[in-house]
């Protein structure tokens, strides 16, 4: 057996799963999004579903909301993560314990985090109850709406809580690999602490921050469970809207649901491409 | 949807009996309407099953059932039935009572004698052990001991399978030797049976226990908006109720107009889940009935003109109360669980459910306070009924009649109402039964937080046909929930 043959055989199980399940499902989804569903008599592919979806104000509002959630969550997470990494790379008493605490919620599933946000920040949650006991509010409705709210504060809170350690760990590893030599040189040549960070360290860690942020953006754009649990009834995040359309009693809505899913997939593909470019830039640096 | 033929329509909302989990059927029945179309895999299987050559239909259904049946005994039963079906043409059964027309001419004693020593194949959803035990042990034992009839319970994952068998038999020309003698059914599957001429009709007044059924009740006389027309016999009921905390709100509003006034006077303390949540959708239908000036005008097929008139008023009412809802109506709960959570945390003053026993369960679990009580509305709340039906080509109609009559009896309905047996609401009027049965029924342990089915049933409203329900849901999303 030649080496190529052996490699092909060894890869076969994994590739079968990827090709058949992933690309198979993707292909069926794409076909249905083009209104091609012979089983219910749709045999002439067309772009009706895309036309309907892209001209639907509900879809556009959902798209805008999802974009807003992803961008805001990613930006806030990245800023806090860099700040945290700067602190954590210094040596201080109890650093090990703090480091562990910082990374602890990496293992907590998003859905658990979402329930936690609900219990803490809802109008009858932990903080609302505290506010009631110290006399700040008299009724649940007087507590600011932080979940199911139009600004998606609850959703963003959950993502920030979950993604700060993710970006932070990557950035911290990068900072530790770089060491402090470059910054020391800059400082010895008269740069302020801020200048040393802004012009020396930040450009060095930027590719890492970027690639981690792209992963976070792509994930939050396609995630379903957090906006489902913490989002308002209208507009809904794109994945929630897509699933709702998919489960509509009217089977004719299926192609539109698939068109939405394809839009989400396309955007994620774009993110993967951007991620690959960013990583290559990082390797070059 | 209009492009699809009848087979698809029949499986489309087949979920009325698609009890996917082991939960109590009355509850699931309600949910089923929504759940089936969301399962694309099921859809393909159905499609395949309903489109293969007619001869294949039995095998197809048998395969599906076999796959989803836990017990090997049940599989054997299905195979036996299928084999018997094949043999029955060669050796005619001893007591063939396929001729329904001549059967209804007989008196009851003669029908019982014709049924004696025979068997009856009852196809029913089989996903809940307590129901299977009730049917096999309690009903099956009486049927054997008192009438010598063997009860073959054929468990299904989805009632549409049985409907497809009957449909396939009819198309294959099997008009008097079908394999299905009785089906547990309601909603869309009943409509398919009736539209396809698959049901045996016009016999229900032959059953002695038919006197216990209140056919004047629209919830019983109509099965999801389709008139029953003596084609099926009621078995159980489910009905919508609201819940409030009697400690903070001793006198809740008891009609839709009163509730609307209450909401305006108490801003922020009421909301309802957005459709497609099933319970939110039922709540909106109550407002829709009120806006339409009653439900009588809405029964039957979907009517765009009638819908438009009532819908306009409904959206006006719901938009008018919106600023007084929880969060000023800027958002709605997206599931009944979210509403229950808001109610448990006293953010809102009401929750509601198609299955009022849920309130008692939540109180016992410590989620709601003990002071929670439930109530119906003076103009009635929406209920639905599930039934047993006899296919037109059943060769054991006499035995099926005896079984239906037994199921309607005070004894069988009482046993079924026991919380430890099943706890479902009777399909008959218990106050029409004898004193002993009434006494025993009244003595059944009840939960203080759960309104009794009898109390609730005093004012009941029928469900609408599927066309109405989806039009109301879509109209709400476009006009209120945006």
pLDDT digits (tens, 9 = 90+) for B201-226: 999 999 999 999 999 988 899 998 88
Read off the tokens for B79: 């195979």
**What six digits make up the tokens of A218?**
């792509």
Q: Shortest Cα distance from A248 to chain B (angstroms)? A: 7
For B347, nearest residue in chain A (alpha carbons):
A140
Nearest to A247 among B37, B47, B466 (CB): B37
Indicate if B332 and B412 belong to the same structural domain.
no
Yes or no: say if B306 and B468 are a contact pair by the CB < 8 Å rule.
no
Question: Residue B288, SS3?
Answer: helix
B65 shares its domain with B186: yes
What residues 257-286 of chain B have any CB closer than 8 A to a CB of chain A? 268, 274, 276
B334 in any annotated domain? yes
Share of chain B above pLDDT 70, in %: 80
What's the whole-model pTM score? 0.72
Judge whether B200 lies within some domain: yes
**CB atoms B4 and A39 under 8 Å:** no
For residues B185 and B204, membership in a common domain is answered with yes
User: What pLDDT, in 10s, does the model give residues A108-120?
Assistant: 999 999 999 999 9
Q: How far is B408 from chain A (nearest CA, A)?
A: 34
Q: Identify the residue among A21, A39, A137, A233 best suited for mutation to test binding to B, counting B beta carbons within 10 A and taking the highest.
A: A233
The mean of the pLDDT values for chain B is 82
Of A145, A150, A233, Cβ closest to residue B334: A233
Q: Do β-strands B150-156 and B119-125 pair in parallel, antiparallel, or remain unpaired?
A: parallel
For B277, nearest residue in chain A (alpha carbons): A244
In angstroms, the Cα distances linking B165 to B11, B50, B100 are 13, 9, 19
Q: What does residue B201 show for φ and ψ, rounded to 5 degrees? A: -120, 165
Say yes or no to pLDDT of B64 above 70. no
At residue B386, the pLDDT reads 92
Mean pLDDT value across residues B298-324: 95
Task: Tell me what the mean pLDDT of segment A87-99 comes to.
Answer: 89
The residues facing B352 across adjacent strands are: B242
Q: Of residues A8 and B81, which shows the higher confidence score?
A: A8
H-state helical runs in B13-172? 25-35, 40-51, 56-68, 72-88, 100-104, 108-115, 129-133, 140-147, 160-171
Q: Cα separations (Å) of A66 from A215, A231, A260, B359, B395? A: 15, 11, 13, 36, 60
State the total domains in chain B: 2
Q: What is the ipTM of this complex?
A: 0.82
Indicate whether B452 belongs to any domain. no
Give the N- to C-terminal CA distance of chain A in Å, as an integer: 41
- Which of B345, B465, B475 has the most A C-beta neighbours within 10 Å, making it the best mutation to test the interface with A? B345
B361 and B401 within one domain: no
C-alpha separations of A108 from B36, B142, B469, B478 in Å: 32, 55, 40, 38
Between A36 and B42, whose confidence is greater? A36
We report the CATH number of the domain holding residue B284 as 3.40.190.10
User: Are A148 and B331 within 8 A, CB to CB?
Assistant: yes
Q: Which residues contact B368 (CB under 8 A, 6 or more apart)?
A: B243, B245, B343, B344, B359, B362, B449
Q: Report how many Cβ contacts below 8 Å link chain A to chain B.
A: 68
Q: Which residues of A touch B275 (CB under 8 A)?
A: none
A140 vs chain B: nearest CA distance in angstroms? Answer: 6
| Per-residue model confidence (pLDDT) at position B17 | 35
Question: Domain check: are B181 and B107 in the same one?
Answer: yes
User: Do B33 and B169 have their domain in common?
Assistant: yes
> Is B437 within the bounds of a domain?
yes
Are the beta carbons of B278 and B335 closer than 8 angstroms?
no
Residue B86 inside a domain? The answer is yes
Q: Are A268 and A218 in contact (CB under 8 A)?
A: yes
Nearest in space to B78 (alpha carbons), one of B91, B59, B96: B59
State the DSSP code for B222: E
Domain residue limits at B215: 9-236+384-444
With CA atoms as reference, the chain B residue closest to A249 would be: B37
Domains observed in chain A: 49-284 (1.10.3720.10)
pLDDT at B133: 94
At residue B285, the pLDDT reads 96
B-chain residues near A147 (CB < 8 A): none
B89 shares contact with chain A (CB less than 8 Å): no
Asked whether residue B314 falls in the same domain as residue B328, the answer is yes
DSSP, collapsed to helix, strand or coil, labels residue B133 as: helix
Asked whether residue B4 is assigned to any structural domain, the reply reads no
Instruction: Note if the bond before B276 is cis, omega within 30 degrees.
Output: yes
């Amino acid at each position: 057996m030649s080496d190529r043959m052996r490699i092909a055989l060894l890869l076969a199980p994994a590739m079968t799963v990827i090709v058949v399940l992933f690309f198979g499902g993707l292909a069926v989804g794409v076909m249905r999004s083009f209104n091609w569903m012979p089983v219910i008599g749709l045999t002439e592919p067309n772009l009706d579903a895309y036309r309907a979806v892209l001209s639907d104000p509900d879809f556009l509002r959902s798209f805008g909301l999802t974009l807003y959630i992803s961008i805001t969550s990613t930006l806030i997470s990245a800023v806090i993560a860099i700040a945290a990494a700067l602190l954590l790379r210094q040596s201080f008493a109890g650093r090990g314990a703090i480091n562990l605490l910082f990374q602890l919620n990496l293992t907590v599933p998003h859905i658990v985090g979402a329930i936690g946000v609900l219990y803490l920040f809802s109008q009858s949650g932990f903080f609302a109850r505290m506010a009631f006991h110290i006399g700040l509010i008299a009724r649940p409705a007087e507590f600011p709406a932080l979940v199911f709210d139009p600004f998606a504060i609850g959703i963003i809170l959950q993502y920030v809580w979950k993604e700060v350690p993710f970006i932070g760990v990557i950035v911290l590893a990068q900072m530790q690999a770089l060491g402090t030599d470059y910054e020391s040189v800059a400082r010895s040549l008269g740069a302020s602490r801020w200048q040393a960070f802004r012009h020396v360290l930040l450009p060095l860690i930027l590719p890492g921050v970027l690639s981690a942020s792209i992963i976070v953006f792509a994930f939050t754009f396609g995630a379903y469970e957090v906006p489902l649990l913490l989002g308002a009834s209208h507009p809904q995040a794109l994945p929630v809207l897509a699933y709702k359309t998919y489960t509509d009693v009217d089977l004719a809505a299926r192609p539109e649901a698939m068109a939405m899913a394809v839009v989400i997939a396309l955007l994620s593909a774009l993110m993967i491409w951007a991620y690959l470019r960013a990583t290559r830039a990082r390797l070059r640096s | 949807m209009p492009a699809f033929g009848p087979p698809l329509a029949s499986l489309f909302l087949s979920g009325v009996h698609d009890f996917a989990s082991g939960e109590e059927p009355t509850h699931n029945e309600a949910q089923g309407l929504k759940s089936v179309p969301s399962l694309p895999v099921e859809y393909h299987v159905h499609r395949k099953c309903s489109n293969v050559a007619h001869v294949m239909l039995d095998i197809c259904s048998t395969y599906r059932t076999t796959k989803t049946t836990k017990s090997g005994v049940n599989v054997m039963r299905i195979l036996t039935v299928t084999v018997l079906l094949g043999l029955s043409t060669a050796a005619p059964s001893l007591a063939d009572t396929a001729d329904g027309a001549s059967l209804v001419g007989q008196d009851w004693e003669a029908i019982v004698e014709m049924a004696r020593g025979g068997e009856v194949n009852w196809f029913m959803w089989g996903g809940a052990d307590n129901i299977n035990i009730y049917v096999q042990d309690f009903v099956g034992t009486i049927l054997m001991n008192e009438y010598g009839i063997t009860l073959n319970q054929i468990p299904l994952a989805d009632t549409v399978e049985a409907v497809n068998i009957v449909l396939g038999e009819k198309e294959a020309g099997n008009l008097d030797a079908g394999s299905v003698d009785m089906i547990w059914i309601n909603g869309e599957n009943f409509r398919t049976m009736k539209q396809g001429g698959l049901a045996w009709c016009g016999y229900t007044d032959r059953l002695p226990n038919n006197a216990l059924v209140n056919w004047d009740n629209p919830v019983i006389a109509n099965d999801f908006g389709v008139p029953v027309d003596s084609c099926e016999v009621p078995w159980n009921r489910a009905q919508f109720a609201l819940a409030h905390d009697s400690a903070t709100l001793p006198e809740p509003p008891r009609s839709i107009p009163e509730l609307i006034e209450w909401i305006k006077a108490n801003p922020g303390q009421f909301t309802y889940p957005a459709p497609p949540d099933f319970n939110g959708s039922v709540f909106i239908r109550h407002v829709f009935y009120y806006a339409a000036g009653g439900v009588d005008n809405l029964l039957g097929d979907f009517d765009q003109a009638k819908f438009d008139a009532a819908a306009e008023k409904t959206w006006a009412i719901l938009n008018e109360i919106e600023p007084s809802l929880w969060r000023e109506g800027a958002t709605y709960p997206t599931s009944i669980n979210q509403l229950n959570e808001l109610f448990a945390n006293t953010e809102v003053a009401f929750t509601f459910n198609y299955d009022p026993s849920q309130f008692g369960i939540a109180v016992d679990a410590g989620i709601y306070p003990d002071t929670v009580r439930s109530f119906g509305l003076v103009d009635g709340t929406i209920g639905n009924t599930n039934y047993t039906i006899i296919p037109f080509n059943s060769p054991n109609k006499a035995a099926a009649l005896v079984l239906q009559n037994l199921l309607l009896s005070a004894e069988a309905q009482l046993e079924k109402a026991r919380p430890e047996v099943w706890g479902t609401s009777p399909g008959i009027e218990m106050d029409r039964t004898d004193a002993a049965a009434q006494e025993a029924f009244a003595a059944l342990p009840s939960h203080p937080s759960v309104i009794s089915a009898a109390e609730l049933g005093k004012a009941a409203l029928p469900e609408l046909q599927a066309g109405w329900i989806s039009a109301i849901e879509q109209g709400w999303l476009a006009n209120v929930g945006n």
